[in-house]
Chain A
Amino acid sequence: MATTRILEWVGRIYIVLLLAFLYLPIIIMALMSFNASPFYQLPLEWTTDWYASLWQNDQLIAATWNSIEIAVITTIISTVLGSMASLALYRYEFRGKKFLQALLFPPIAIPWLITGTAMLIFFFGIGIGRGLVAILLGHVALALPYVIVVVSARLQTFAPELEEAARSLGANQWQVTNRVTLPWIMPGVIAGGLFAFAVSFDQFVVSYFLSTPGQTTLPVEIYAAIRKGFTPEINAVSTIIIVVSMALMLLTARFFKFGGEK
């Protein structure tokens, strides 16, 4: 009995430490975005000045919009293409399929620094150069393998008889996919989409290689700003992004009951 109690307490302490490790830096940053002192002096003097001055920082706002735009477009393109690729890999047997599936994993493992350099050289070679288009193409390429892996994992739980049953009832390929297969893999598609969004929105390395001073994304802009001299505006913009992305994640988790419902 005593050991069980001790173990229970060890478990609780472990959870608290883990959560602190994950969230304490974020909480401190959020608090500092409301602190009047730009040098992290305590006690905290409440202010929303940094948010106000953020509103004046055109460069940061432009970069934020670029990031959101690129992340949304990346999500749409890579989710659609990735889901279609997963369906094709699931349904059809063709020459080189195993090889193609094996090719999906190295891009996830190759350091982004190397991918970024390679893309920079490649895009210059074919005349696209740097800029938002290059960043978008790069992000789609980075996000695609994640979507395919996640959607394919979901498809592994799909019973192929369901497609056969639908066909036996007269459904054509489009109706089968749309009304039977897609509803089943939807949680996987959503999860894949979230991955794609995160890969793009968090992306620093590849974006850094492909951006130009005028055309840049938020992580690159934040990096540039910090090098010039840190201002708590960065804390403010980071806090906004954290709140929005956590809200998005929680909403999706609630609607799609990850891992919960069968």
Chain B
Amino acid sequence: MAGVQVANVSRSFGAHKALDDVSIDFADGGFYALLGPSGSGKTTLLRQIAGFDFPDAGRIAIGGESVERVPVEKRRIGMVFQNYALFPNMSVADNVAFGLSVRGEPKATIAVEVQRALDLVQLGKLGGRRPHQLSGGQRQRVALARAIVTKPRVLLLDEPLGALDKALRVDMQIELKRIQREIGITTIFVTHDQEEALTMSDRIGILRDGRLVQEGPPEEIYDRPQSEFAATFLGDANIFRGDAIGNGIKLPDGTTINAASGASVPAGAKASCAVRPERIQISAGTAKFDAGNANTLKGQVSKRIFAGNNSTYFVERDGQTLKVIVQNTGAERLAEGEPVVLSWSPDSTVLIAAN
């Protein structure tokens, strides 16, 4: 096991900068998600760490050892591919045995290790099957067993759950997390699914256009995004844009929004405030408010979407559509077209410098 350090890595393909001065420290034993839209460079970064491709500049170290010029077959990594990449001409057991067999391990050792790996992914009895006889979830497990049986220093997963349906994906998320804890391997996981990144990882790195936008534990990124992109890509956010006034902003119509956390922006500069939809209280327009410290806005419900345990309200306000999510507590529901008052605490508001 080992941590992975990526320092100032850049990689261009022709004129396209796929990675632009990216630095991330992946702690030993951690579960790390690289999150970003397609073309953000997350897969390129994973391939640099794997050793399929070498950086133009920068340093990559695994367990303290520089590897940026070491080819993949010598890096002692384990990788799970998006479409599993199981060898179609081999049985499940031979697939899992492949890594040990090319290293020239004795047959008896291979048999024991393969069985242990298959047991770990709960496929102990399916060693004799061919990959095409397995379901998607089972193939996923075989790919995982094959990747970890060689005891790699780091496990790399490229959108491993992308090809599975929703229910199976949730099962596999739990399963993957269990196996990762059990063997304690440093895991780096590429995904474009924000929910997957939030539920599974210890830390998340958000990438955009080849740059690392923000990096930290899921809670921190969700609660204190440092850019509009981070705020809207990881979860939903209402963004208000205006001029900075100390701890908040003044909207074009003169309303102020106070934020208790976030960047410090010099007064008068362009800035935004981000608020999560579930942090906003919505009440009928006639209700009285204790203004106090709270941020309040008036608006009109344009649409309500009922989803069982919660409802999403779309509220029109000064040409902007705001999103509010309300838990289904049995309280009275607001009708479309109704004037409403929105209020939320500055603690739920993050100040973001304009980029």
- The A interface is mostly helix, strand or loop, or mixed, namely helix
By the criterion CB–CB under 8 Å, are B102 and A169 in contact? Answer: yes
On whether the beta carbons of B88 and A167 are closer than 8 Å, the reply is no
Name, among A166, A168, A180, A184, the residue most crowded by chain B CB atoms within 10 Å (CB to CB).
Answer: A168
> CA of A183 to CA of B72 in the docked complex: distance in angstroms?
22
* A112-123 vs B, Cβ < 8 Å mask (1 yes, 0 no): 000000000000
Interface segment, one of A21-29, A46-54, A156-164: A156-164
Q: Which of B85, B99, B132, B156 contacts A170 (CB 8 A)?
A: B99
Does A231 count as interface, using CB distance less than 8 angstroms?
A: no
Complex formed: what's the CA distance from A165 to B50 in Å? 11
**Cα distance, A168 to B89, chains bound together (Å):** 18
Would you call B99 and A161 a contact (CB within 8 A)?
no
Q: A159-B85, A180-B87 are in contact. Are A169 and B99 (CB under 8 A)?
A: yes
Taking a contact as CB atoms under 8 Å apart, the answer to whether B73 and A171 are in contact is: yes
Contact assessment for A184 and B88 in the assembled complex, using a CB-CB cutoff below 8 Å: yes
A168 CB contacts on chain B under 8 angstroms: 50, 52, 72-73, 77-79, 147, 156
Nearest chain B CB to A233 CB, angstrom units = 47
CA gap between A245 and B87 in the complex, in Å: 34
Interface 1/0 per residue, B96-136 and A, CB below 8 Å: 00110011000000000000000000000000000010000
Residues in chain B near residue A165, CB distance under 8 A: 79, 81, 85-87, 146
Total interface residues in chain B, CB < 8 Å: 27
B98 touches A164 (CB 8 A): no
A57 in the interface (beta carbon within 8 A):
no
**Chain A min CB distance to B149 (Å):** 9
Task: Give the interface residue-count category, chain A.
Answer: 10 to 19
- B40 at interface by CB-CB < 8 Å: no
Q: Flag whether B300 is at the interface (Cβ < 8 A).
A: no
Q: Give chain A residues whose Cβ lies under 8 Å from the Cβ of B78.
A: 168-169
**B57-94 vs A, Cβ < 8 Å mask (1 yes, 0 no):** 00000000000000111101111011101111100000
Specify which chain B residues have a CB less than 8 angstroms from the CB of A171 in the assembled complex. Answer: 73, 98-99, 102
Which positions 129-176 of chain A face chain B at CB distance < 8 Å? 159, 161-162, 164-172, 175
Nearest opposing residue in chain B for A175, CB measure: B102
A170–B76 touching, CB < 8 Å: yes
- B150 on the A face (CB < 8 A): yes
**A228 on the B face (CB < 8 A):** no
In the complex, whether A257 has a CB less than 8 A from a CB of chain B is no
The listed residue (A162, A172, A175, A184) touching B85 by CB distance below 8 A is: A162
Per-residue contact bits, chain B 28-72, to A (CB 8 Å; 1 contact, 0 not): 000000000000000000000010100000000000000000011
A164 touches B132 (CB 8 A): no
CB distance from B158 to the nearest CB of A (A): 9
Q: Within 8 Å CB of B76, what residues of A?
A: 170
B83 (CB) vs chain A CBs: closest residue: A161
Chain A min CB distance to B87 (Å): 6
Report chain B residues within 8 Å CB of A161: 81-83, 85
Which chain A residue shows the least CB distance to B132?
A: A262
Given contacts A175-B102, A179-B98, contact A167 B85 (CB under 8 A): no
When C-beta atoms are compared, the residue in chain B nearest to A173 turns out to be B73
Q: List 9 A-B contacts (CB under 8 A).
A: A162-B87, A165-B85, A165-B87, A168-B50, A168-B79, A169-B73, A169-B99, A169-B102, A184-B88
Other A-B contacts than A164-B52, A169-B99, A172-B73, 10 sampled, CB-CB below 8 A, are A164-B79, A165-B87, A166-B98, A166-B102, A168-B156, A169-B102, A170-B73, A172-B102, A184-B88, A184-B89
**Chain A residues with a Cβ under 8 A of chain B:** 159, 161-162, 164-172, 175, 179-180, 183-184, 262
The 9 nearest A-B residue pairs measured at CB: A169-B99, A165-B85, A161-B85, A168-B79, A183-B89, A171-B102, A167-B73, A167-B72, A175-B102
